[in-house]
Structure formats: structure tokens, C-alpha cells
């Protein structure tokens, strides 16, 4: 029952090590240390502060819609969400 939440990368720091991600209406930082070649605009799955892998926007939106349907508060995420 372990959810990884899709989030969109909105900015990447100059070192390439961390990204700013948009999750619901909130932004926060996550580590890019476990994936290669992430770019602004990519959707990534985020788990305990790490981006795990890229997924397509359509898949991300589908997963987010499902999570909303399941009552998972993906639009109310606060800064500890990732």
C-alpha cells in the first residue's frame, strides 16, 4: 500500500542535485540523486524526498486522478509531502 506521488519538476538547481516540484497546489524540493537527465516539465514519482523515475504526463494525470478518487489528498499537499 505504498503510494509514490507523481509531481512535475518546475525548476532544477544549478548543481542538478535537487529539483523544485509541484505537487497539488504546493511546491517543494526533492533530490534528483537517483535519476539521470531529469528536465523541467518532467513528471517524476516521488518517495520520501527522492525522485524515483520519470513517467509520462498522461500516466501522471491518470494516477493523480485515481488517487483523488481514492480520497488521497493530492491537492492538499504541504511541504512535507515528498
Partner 1 sequence: MTNPAGKLLIQVHADGVGIASTRPVQAARLLVGRGTAQTLHLLPALFSICASAQATAGVTAIEQALALTTDPAVGARRRQLVAVETVREHLWRILLDWPRALSEPPDTAAMAAAMAADAAWRATLTAGGDLLTPAARATVGAAPTTVPARLQLAELGARWVFGLAPDTWLGQVDGLATLVTWAERTETVAARLVRRVLAADWAGLGRCAVDALPELPAPDLERHLAGADPAADAFVARPNWDGQARETSAFTRQLAWPLVLDLTERFGNGLLPRLAAQLTEVARGLAATAGESAPPASAPLPPGVGLAQVQAARGLLVHRVRLADEQIAEYRILAPTEWNFHPQGVVAAGLSGLVQHAAPAELEPLARLFITAVDPCVDFDLNFFTDRLDR
Interacting residues toward partner 1 by CB under 8 A: 1-5, 23-24, 31, 33-36, 45, 47-50, 52, 59, 62-63, 66-67, 69-74, 76-81
| CB of 65 vs partner 1, minimal distance in Å | 10
Q: What DSSP designation does 59 have?
A: H
Query: Considering beta carbons, is residue 2 or 39 the nearer one to partner 1?
Result: 2
Q: What is the CB-side half-sphere exposure of residue 10 using CA atoms within 13 A?
A: 11
Closest CA to 44 of 81, 8, 72: 8
3-state SS track over 30-45: EECCCCCCCCCCCEEE
| CB of 38 vs partner 1, minimal distance in Å | 12
| CB of 52 vs partner 1, minimal distance in Å | 8
Query: Considering beta carbons, is residue 22 or 35 the nearer one to partner 1?
Result: 35
Measured between its terminal Cα atoms, the distance across the chain in Å is 16
Amino acid at each position: 500500500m505504498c503510494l509514490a506521488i507523481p509531481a512535475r519538476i518546475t525548476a532544477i538547481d544549478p548543481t542538478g542535485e535537487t529539483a523544485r516540484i509541484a505537487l497539488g497546489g504546493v511546491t517543494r524540493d526533492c533530490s534528483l540523486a537517483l535519476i539521470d537527465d531529469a528536465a523541467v516539465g518532467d513528471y517524476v514519482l516521488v518517495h520520501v524526498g527522492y525522485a524515483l523515475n520519470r513517467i509520462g504526463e498522461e500516466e501522471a494525470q491518470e494516477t493523480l486522478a485515481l488517487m483523488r478518487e481514492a480520497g488521497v489528498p493530492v491537492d492538499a499537499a504541504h511541504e512535507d509531502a515528498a
